[in-house]
Chain A
Amino acid sequence: MPTGQGGKAKLLTLPEAAARIADGARLAIGGFAVYQHPMALVRELVRQGRRDLTVVGHVNGNDVDLLAGAGCLRRVESSYVGLEKYGLAPCFRRRVERGQLEMVDYPEVLSFDRFRASADNLSFWPCDYLGGTDILTHNPAIKPFDCPLTGRRLWAVPPAAPDVVVLHAVAADERGNVVIPARHLLPQSLDVTMGRACDTVIVTTEQVVSRDYIRRHARQVLLPSYRVSHVVEVPWGAHPCPVLGRYVIDDAHFRQYAAAAATEDGFAGYLERYVTGPRDHDEYLERVGRAHLERLREVDAP
């Protein structure tokens, strides 16, 4: 190691990390639709009985559905909440239909740009294509203005402005240098954007790697340590979501979830079996089954 040890360790346990997210917080959850959400941390928030959260996102899935079903949410800002091939998000749907959950709809690209606005510390992101949509009808936070240079009608879209961002990564060191694989896709890229959009960033990681590993893979450290507040080592931390290059989606578990969540009783049973019943993430993994998990592994060249 050429210079010192390089700053302080930021390792927390999963319960400690979840405790940093207060009731009522604006929370951004990494991942996309059914891909790579920090689900272990999401389950821990449910275990701790977190309430009145606002999830500010872009494309959400089982992350929001689980929190909605467990009664943790007050509001969601996103372009999509659904389970892709597993159908509509059943708990989210029930809560919105009953008026128990406030939904604020944004177009997909603008919901990405809201995080770019926060990353660039802008007070709004400009947009020229919302005319005629009901996005405007139901979202008073979006304000019209005339372009000062051309006079063209534009809209000011508020930044995402999360209080806390939580992401799940394949590898990070204990100081918070986060490795994003070279062969990543849009979900991982948007995780990086999110990680640049907030001063409190919690990263759960499949593996805590050495400083030496980080220094050998420096070009893949897209979130350097000063962007990251806390690191939590959580193997299988996105399950049942996939982690690109590490494990595939747990198709059977998603089907089980979608079927269970179709009714309130079914969801309560799922919650007891997989979230509130298990004492911690290890016990969750036992209930899912180690042999079953092993079959989900995929191997990627780094």
Chain B
Amino acid sequence: MLAAALARALRDEEVGFTGLVTGGAAAVFGTAIPLAAMELARLSHAPGLTILLAGWSHNPDLFGLPELPDSEFDAKLRDLAADAQMMDYPGPWSIRRGDIDFGFSSAVQVDRSGNINSVCVGDYRRPRVRLVGPILQPEHMALFGREYVMMPHHERRNFVERVDYVSGVGYPGGRAGRRRLGLERGGPAWVITPRCIFDFDEDDGRMRVRSMHPGQTPAVLQAATGFDLGDLAGVPTTESPTPEELELLRRQVDPHGILLRSADRSTR
């Protein structure tokens, strides 16, 4: 369902960047859904779309594999047939010229302006939980054309009024606010969770519920979110895949079920 919704938003000739995240729900949201969405788009309306897996393997031939590779820089991924490989930094793409049209990133916290955090929970100098660091999030949220923030968990501790550390910038003050910060392009397009899809009012910079997944109610969604979602009456249900999309996903995108088997489980 999420792969199909995402696929419809991707356009031909775009370049999409996803990491190779491993382990449970994080892998499903961070890698499996993005890969399924990009491949579905390639097979339907965007044959010229480039998938940058782990940021370096261009359109790797991984959909026939018995399982997803679980390591970004090993011989297994290196030896898969691909259109191009980035073996050096600087490499084939220029992140600063805007070569990457969209990316996927995950975070531990996201706030109502769409700022994301993968650095710490609590005070920066004496954090309650020290996480991995900003990694490529500043670049994802500033230099890519747009970002799909993939949140494997949607509870009050993940959706907060204000993140404890801004490692990737959303829309503080909307588009105009981003421009004042020197950010000429990019920013989060959607935030995708196990409960709903958010998008943004780019004028006032607020996250808003674009659609709720089947089984969610406004009350449940608000209770799981640490900021006010406003009036949720009239918010549509996230569209199911069409029979054609399902057919493509099952038979061509993911013939061995390595991507979507786990995704079905984790989106309930």
- Report which A residues bind B (CB closer than 8 A): 32-33, 35, 59, 78-82, 84-85, 87-89, 92-93, 96-99, 103, 105-110, 112, 128-135, 137-138, 152-153, 183-187, 189-190, 193, 242, 244-245, 248-249, 298, 300
Contact = CB atoms under 8 A, between A and B. Distances in A.
A187 B87 CA distance: 9
Summarize A's interface: helix, strand, loop or mixed.
Answer: mixed
Nearest to B184: A128
Contacts, number: 141
A128 B86 CA distance: 24
B230 interface: no
Interface string B114-157: 01000110001111111111111111001100000000000000
Given A88-B132, A108-B134, A300-B75, A134 B165 contact: yes
B73 A129 contact: no
A81 B133 contact: yes
Interface residues of B, number: 50
Given A80-B135, A103-B130, A248-B74, A185 B87 contact: yes
Contacts of A183: 78, 87
Given A109-B139, A248-B74, A249-B74, A186 B169 contact: no
A230 to B, nearest CB: 25
A133 B130 contact: no
Given A33-B73, A129-B138, A186-B91, 13 more contacts: A79-B134, A80-B134, A97-B126, A97-B127, A103-B133, A105-B134, A107-B134, A128-B96, A129-B143, A133-B168, A185-B73, A186-B88, A244-B78
Interface stretch (B175-183, B207-215, B247-255): B175-183
B71 interface: yes
Summarize B's interface: helix, strand, loop or mixed.
Answer: loop
Contacts of A244: 73-75, 78
B169 A133 contact: yes
B124 A134 contact: yes
Contact of A152 (B131, B142, B182): B182
Given A131-B181, A249-B74, A189 B143 contact: no
A92 B130 contact: yes
Given A78-B133, A82-B133, A131 B75 contact: no
Contacts of B169: 131-133
Contact of A189 (B72, B89, B129, B182): B89
A12 to B, nearest CB: 28
B166 interface: yes
Contacts of A132: 115, 166, 169, 172, 178, 181, 183
B70 interface: yes
Nearest to A129: B142
Contacts of A109: 95, 136, 139
B22 A84 contact: yes
Given A103-B130, A183-B78, A185-B87, A134 B166 contact: yes
27 contacts: A78-B133, A79-B134, A82-B132, A85-B23, A85-B70, A87-B23, A88-B130, A96-B130, A97-B126, A97-B129, A97-B130, A99-B125, A103-B130, A105-B133, A107-B139, A108-B135, A112-B89, A129-B143, A131-B142, A132-B166, A133-B168, A134-B165, A186-B89, A187-B73, A190-B89, A193-B89, A249-B74
A209 to B, nearest CB: 21
B167 interface: yes
A298 B73 CA distance: 14
A33 B129 CA distance: 20
B200 to A, nearest CB: 15
A147 B243 CA distance: 54
Contacts of B96: 128-129
A245 B129 CA distance: 36
A42 B32 CA distance: 35
A187 B77 CA distance: 14
Interface in B84-128: 85-89, 91, 95-96, 115, 119-120, 124-128
A240 to B, nearest CB: 13
The 3 A-B pairs of least Cβ separation, nearest first, read: A131-B181, A132-B169, A85-B22
Contacts of A106: 134
Nearest to B79: A183
B256 to A, nearest CB: 20
B182 A131 contact: yes
Nearest to A187: B73
Q: Which of B89, B91, B132, B165 has the most CB of A within 10 A?
A: B132
Contact of A105 (B72, B119, B128, B180): B119
